[in-house]
Chains A and B, each alone.
Chain A
Amino acid sequence: MLYQQLVDHILREQEKFYKIAYSYVKSREDALDIVQDTIEKALKSYHKIKQPEYLSTWIYRVLVNTAMNHLKSKKNVVFLDTSKESSYIDQNHMDLYDVLDLLNPEDKTLIILRYFEDLKFYDIAEIMSLNINTLKTRHKNILSHLKIQLDEGGDHASL
C-alpha cells in the first residue's frame, strides 16, 4: 500500500523533482540522472519510512542528497562559501537565481525549498537533518549574505 502511495507520489511530483534537480546541476542530462537515481533509491528503500505522512519529506531528502552527491562527484565545481569575492559579481546578469548557484549546495537547498517550493522551516529541517533553530540562523545568514552579493552586484536588491 505504501508502495502504491510512493509510486503515485512520484508520478504526481516528477516535474517538481526535476526542477529541484535542475537548479543544482543546470544540465538536462544530469537533472534527469538525478531524478532517475532518486526514484531508484526511493523504490528500493521506501520501507524505511515509518509514517506514511512523512513520505513527501522523505523523498525530498533522498532527492536533495542524491543531487548533492552528484554535485560533489563533479570536482570542477567551485562554490562561493563565505567569501565575498566581487569577481563573481562583475558579470552583467547577476540576479538571485545566479547568485544562488554560487551558494554551497546545502544553503542552496534551503533557499530552493523555502522560497521556490514554499516548504515550512519545520519540514526543511527534517529534510536537511538540521535542528530547526540552526536552520533559522543559517537562513538569516544566507539572506544577509545574498543581500551583500546583490548590493555589490547593483541590480536587484529587494528580498
Chain B
Amino acid sequence: MQAYKDKYNGIEIPKELNMMVNERIKNNKKKKRKNIGWLSLAASVCILVTSLNVSETFAETVTNIPVIGQIANLLIVRSYDFEKEDLSGTVNVPNVTISDETLKKFINDTINEKVDNVLKEAEERIMEYKEAFIETGGTEEQWAEKNMTVTADYEVYLENEDFLSFRVYTHESLAAVYATNLFFTLDLKNQQLLTLEDLIGPNYIEIISTKAKEMMTVDSENYFEQSEDWSIRPDMNFYLNDQGETVVVFEKYEIAPGAMGPIEMIIK
C-alpha cells in the first residue's frame, strides 16, 4: 500500500494552483462587498408587482412572492427563489425598459428564453444525474444532502445617460461547464445595440487580435500557444466598464487554461 501512497503523493502540483486559489479568495471578497451594495440599493427602490409573467416552468413552485426591484429606470428585475425536491435556485432576471419597442422585445426575449431554457435544462440534467446516482448505489438520503442549485443573475458594468452595459449569467452547482453568459451594450441615445465594430472601428478584429497576441506573448506561461494567423472570434463578448472603456472577454478555455477563468482585456 505504501507504494501506491507514494505514487499518490507524487502527483505533480501545477503552478497555477496557488494563483487560482488566491484569485478565488480575492474575488470572493470583492463580490461580497458588491452584493451588499446592490442589496441596499435594491431595497431602497423596491416595488412589489405580482402580475409579471414568472417563468411557467417554475411558477407553481415559487416559494417567495416575486419581487420586482427597479434599479434605476433601465432595468426591471424579475426576482424569485424556488425550492423543489431536487433543485433549488435563485433567479434575478433583468429586462430592459427602453423606448424602442423592437429592440426592447429582441433583448428581453433573448434574455428570457435563455434563462427559461437554462432552468428547464438544469432540472432535466439533475433528474438524469439523480437517476444515475441512485442506480450506482446512492441512497435518497445522500441525494438529499447534495443540495443542487441553479442561479441566474446579472451584473451591470456601466449605466449612464448614454450607455447601458450589462451581462446576464447562469450557473449550476452540478458542474461549472454549464455556465452561460449573455452580454448587452446599448447606445441609449440612438437606441441600438453596440457591436465591437461600432466601438473600435472596421478593423477591430485586427486591433484586438494584435493586442491579445501581445498579452499572450508577454505572459506566455499562462496562455495557450497560438499559431501565427490566430485571430479573435468576430462575435466575441465585450462590455463597457465604468470608465467607458471597451473590455473584451475571452471565454474560459478559449485562450488560457480553465483555471484562469474567462480572460478580460481592456482595449484603449
Contacts and interface: CB of A to CB of B under 8 A. Distances in A.
B175 A7 contact: no
Contacts of B25: 7, 10-11, 39, 43
Contacts of A100: 4
Contact residues of B: prevailing secondary structure? helix
Contacts of A116: 4-5, 8-9
A107 to B, nearest CB: 9
Contacts of B261: 36
Interface string A26-56: 0011001101110111011000000000000
A106 B146 CA distance: 14
A156 B179 CA distance: 43
Contact residues of A: prevailing secondary structure? helix
Name the residue in B11, B13, B20, B28 with the highest tally of chain A Cβ atoms < 10 Å from its Cβ. Answer: B11
Name the residue in B16, B28, B253 with the highest tally of chain A Cβ atoms < 10 Å from its Cβ. Answer: B28
Interface string B20-52: 111011001000000000000000000000000
A105 to B, nearest CB: 8
B20 A32 contact: yes
B102 interface: no
Contacts of B28: 40, 43-44
A104 B176 contact: no
Contact of A15 (B7, B17, B257): B17
B177 interface: yes
B136 A81 contact: yes
A133 B136 CA distance: 20
Contact of A22 (B1, B5, B11, B146): B11
Interface in B152-170: none
A119 B93 CA distance: 44
B1 A159 contact: yes
Contacts of A32: 14, 16-17, 20, 257-259
B20 A35 contact: yes
B222 to A, nearest CB: 13
Contacts of B257: 28-29, 32
B227 interface: no
Contacts of A36: 20, 24, 176, 259, 261
A18 B177 contact: no
A43 to B, nearest CB: 4
Given A39-B24, A40-B28, A65-B146, A19 B16 contact: no
Given A97-B4, A129-B142, A37 B176 contact: yes
B229 interface: no
A12 to B, nearest CB: 10
B76 interface: no
Interface of A: 7, 10-11, 14-15, 18-19, 22-23, 28-29, 32-33, 35-37, 39-41, 43-44, 65, 69-70, 72-73, 79, 81, 95-97, 100, 104-106, 112, 115-116, 129-130, 156, 159
7 contacts: A37-B176, A41-B173, A95-B3, A100-B4, A104-B136, A106-B138, A116-B9
Given A19-B8, A36-B20, A43-B28, 14 more contacts: A7-B25, A11-B22, A18-B13, A32-B20, A33-B259, A36-B261, A39-B21, A41-B173, A65-B146, A69-B175, A72-B133, A73-B129, A106-B137, A129-B145
